Amino acid sequence: MPSPSARSVASPGTLRFSVLGPLTVHRGEQALSLGPLKQRMVLATLLTSVNSPVSVHALTEAVWPEEPPRTARKNIQVYVSALRALFGQDDPEARERPRLTHTGGGYVLRAAEEELDLLGFRSLLRAAEGRPPQAAAPLLRQALDLWQGPPLGDDLRQSPTLAEEAERLRLRHVTAYESWAEAELALGGAPAVVEGLRDLVERHPLRERLRSAWMCALSGSGRQPEALAVYDDYRQLLARELGLEPSGAMAARYRAILAGDTRAAGTGATGGPQGGRPGAAPPRATVLLPPDLADFTGHVEELHDVLDLLEGREGSGEASGGFGAGETGEAGHVVLLSGPAGSGKTTLAVRAAHLLGGRFPEGRIFVSLRDAEGRARPVSAVLAELGERTGRTGPSTPEAWREWLARHRVLVILDDVPEERAVRALLPCGGQGRVLLTARGQLGGLAPVHRIAVPPLDTAEAVQLLAGLVGPRRVRADREAALRIVRACGGSPLAVRVSGMRLAVLRHVPLREFADRLTDPRGALDELTAGDVSVRQRLAHGWETLPEERGRDAGRLAAGTGDGPFGLTEAAEALGCDERHAVRVVEALIDAGMVTSPGGEVTAHAAQYDMPHLIRLYARGAGYGTPVLT
């Protein structure tokens, strides 16, 4: 049950709603009868979107997910009327500020923070965010004390919509518990969190942050053998279930405990309540990175791969100064993230760099290889900037740079590499430094390089990103329109982000109207602009770097292959050449980041290719083939 400090004492006539456990409504100390199951489903749906409109369509989908009756709208009205009566809206005082109203966008259930436990939970988490452990721990404890069991109870989960919402709330609870446990560990309270972490690990055996916190709690309680056993069990489970190994951070925690380092019990896998990997960079480290995005979404596997490669492992060949095993080796002196413009390469690289402070205590540096107009910068200018950022004096030559890089544990991001010769002289020849490249093309002339393709976001990830920008209630109110928006963005994180930023400003524009704009190919790219961020401009920078002949080829492919994947025969017809020449053109465009070869699209007869949706739109309006943009 919640602690007294977690709730304010309600006056006799006050309504108090709860969804962090069984769905309940109290008037003062009296629990109200909430009626039949479908009526409670309507109430739960309104409460999880409290203070925001919920459309009749969304309510119908929650109550009748498969085949709603013809009377569904009328039934919803009956349930809403019964809830209004339950809330006492017929009273003269209640009429002045009605609890449940109908607006143009749907039904709105209004509640204050002290009236709904979900709002109080969110408020306490916001208050704890970014605070030191001694301030964050009591706030997080109050937030956890609001929970009374599995969210929404059991019967309401018959609705897939509510089951999904309950799962989202449950995971939010686990995340809050992890943050509280890490704050307590940082304050030396390991014994207080051991058993609670044990219970959560049993329910979430693959959640690494929980495992790491439990290891720290056991170690901090003087139970080192049990802490080491937690790691061994996790390693075997990962290998058996997913064919993976624990992250470098988890392995480092294990080695520290094995070596008897009591400091290993101070924080969880994320280095404390603020997140990130363990071991923040020392104060004197050079950290010159763009800010990490709080709403980073998707690309989980790619991030895991980058972290594993850049962290390296024992026996990776680092001592000999070599590159390890090349493309398939363990240590990654040079890692390349490749993908079309707007695919999220830079965001992914910056996220990885922020998480790797402990691995690179001498610095993490970001340098762009293009100027503001998208033109390639001379190597001499890049070397001069690297020298300035690393505090080096003297001649800025490639040899001097590589020698310095070999001696220092630094991570350097070289962003938006235009071609191999722009970066070849800057890459390490062994040693301690690491370089993370981003490029639209594959940079096939560089070796050995660990290449990681950055794919588009899947639909669920793109909707999650959009919801984080415009608000989840607005997305839930018209999920169909949200799906149309993200599909029109072609899975591009940049395009989804620009759409969200624009809609966050244009609060009066319904999602449906904006979706209609984006699905009109004549003006889609013009809509994808928010302030000084323009998807069209980003695409133009990539287009201008193409040789003129390749630009014509891309335009002809875009105009002549329709939408979706295409084969070599279709490419040859669009290009007006034979298949032998067409395959060379297509592969050159793959290397330039203009064409992709989707995974799983190889049949017994021929490979399949595709052109990212936004690049296709831009190419069709670039003057070759049939223009569709105005």
pLDDT for 305 equals 87
Helix (H, G, I), strand (E, B) or coil at 184: helix
What span, in angstroms and rounded, lies between the C-alpha atoms of 97 and 111?
A: 11
pLDDT for 272 equals 37
Question: Is the pLDDT confidence value at 201 over 80?
Answer: yes
What span, in angstroms and rounded, lies between the C-alpha atoms of 605 and 555?
A: 26
User: Which one-letter DSSP state was computed for residue 206?
Assistant: T
| Burial bucket for residue 107 (CB in 10 Å: 0-12, 13-18, 19+) | buried
Helix (H, G, I), strand (E, B) or coil at 434: strand
Using alpha carbons, list the distances in angstroms from residue 612 to 293, 333, 491, 493, 619.
24, 30, 9, 13, 10
Enter the tokens of residue 259: 């070596």
What span, in angstroms and rounded, lies between the C-alpha atoms of 613 and 624?
A: 17
pLDDT in tens, 371-389: 877 788 888 888 888 888 8
Per-residue pLDDT band at 286 (split at 50, 70, 90): low
- CB proximity list for 32: less than 8 A, separation 6 or greater: 25, 26, 86
What is the β-pairing status of strands 410-415 and 434-439?
A: parallel
Mean pLDDT of all residues in 268-288: 43
Sequence letter at residue 417: V
Sequence letter at residue 608: Q
Question: Is the pLDDT confidence value at 279 over 50?
Answer: no
Question: Is the pLDDT confidence value at 618 over 50?
Answer: yes
pLDDT for 316 equals 34
What span, in angstroms and rounded, lies between the C-alpha atoms of 70 and 7?
A: 43
Sequence letter at residue 483: L
pLDDT in tens, 453-503: 998 888 888 888 898 888 888 888 888 999 999 999 988 899 999 998 888
Residue that the structure tokens 């962290």 belong to: 311
pLDDT for 11 equals 42
User: Which one-letter DSSP state was computed for residue 622?
Assistant: T
Question: Is the pLDDT confidence value at 620 over 70?
Answer: yes
pLDDT for 599 equals 54
Using alpha carbons, list the distances in angstroms from residue 122 to 125, 128, 425, 564.
5, 10, 50, 42
More confident residue, 262 or 65: 65
Mean pLDDT value across the chain: 80
What span, in angstroms and rounded, lies between the C-alpha atoms of 476 and 469?
A: 13
More confident residue, 545 or 553: 553
Alpha helices in 416-523 (DSSP H): 459-470, 472-477, 479-488, 493-505, 511-518
Tell which residue, 90, 54, 46, has the closest CA to residue 476. Answer: 54
Give yes or no for a contact between 53 and 107, defined as CB atoms under 8 angstroms apart.
Answer: yes
Nearest-5° Cα angle at 196, 194 to 202: 100
What is the β-pairing status of strands 529-530 and 286-288?
A: unpaired
Helix (H, G, I), strand (E, B) or coil at 233: helix
R_g (Cα) of the chain, nearest Å? 28
Per-residue pLDDT band at 624 (split at 50, 70, 90): very low
- Helix, strand and coil in the chain, % to nearest 5: 50, 10, 40
Helix (H, G, I), strand (E, B) or coil at 561: coil
Mean pLDDT of all residues in 139-144: 93
- pLDDT > 70: percent of the chain: 85
Chain centroid to Cα 8, Å, comes to 35
Whether a cis peptide bond, with omega within 30° of 0, leads into 448 is yes
What span, in angstroms and rounded, lies between the C-alpha atoms of 300 and 153?
A: 31
- pLDDT > 90: percent of the chain: 19
Residue that the structure tokens 């100390």 belong to: 29
User: Which one-letter DSSP state was computed for residue 260?
Assistant: T
Enter the tokens of residue 248: 């470098």
Alpha helices in 12-159 (DSSP H): 37-48, 56-63, 72-87, 92-96, 117-128, 133-145
Helices 511-518 & 479-488 angle (0-180, nearest 10): 30
What span, in angstroms and rounded, lies between the C-alpha atoms of 415 and 413?
A: 6
Of the ranges 142-146, 362-366, 388-392, 470-474, which is most confident?
142-146
Question: Is the pLDDT confidence value at 617 over 50?
Answer: yes
Helix (H, G, I), strand (E, B) or coil at 269: coil
Tell which residue, 269, 283, 272, 264, has the closest CA to residue 362. Answer: 283
What span, in angstroms and rounded, lies between the C-alpha atoms of 248 and 306?
A: 11
Question: Is the pLDDT confidence value at 569 over 60?
Answer: yes
pLDDT for 543 equals 77
pLDDT for 167 equals 85
Question: Is the pLDDT confidence value at 573 over 70?
Answer: yes
334 membership: H or E segment, kind and range: strand 334-338
Helix (H, G, I), strand (E, B) or coil at 411: strand
pLDDT for 554 equals 86
Tell which residue, 142, 144, 115, has the closest CA to residue 24. Answer: 115
Enter the tokens of residue 420: 């191999």
The β-bridge partners of 101 are: 108
Which phi and psi (to 5°) does residue 370 adopt?
Answer: -130, 155
More confident residue, 392 or 590: 590
What span, in angstroms and rounded, lies between the C-alpha atoms of 194 and 219?
A: 10
Sequence letter at residue 353: A
What span, in angstroms and rounded, lies between the C-alpha atoms of 107 and 476?
A: 13
Helix (H, G, I), strand (E, B) or coil at 534: strand
Per-residue pLDDT band at 115 (split at 50, 70, 90): very high
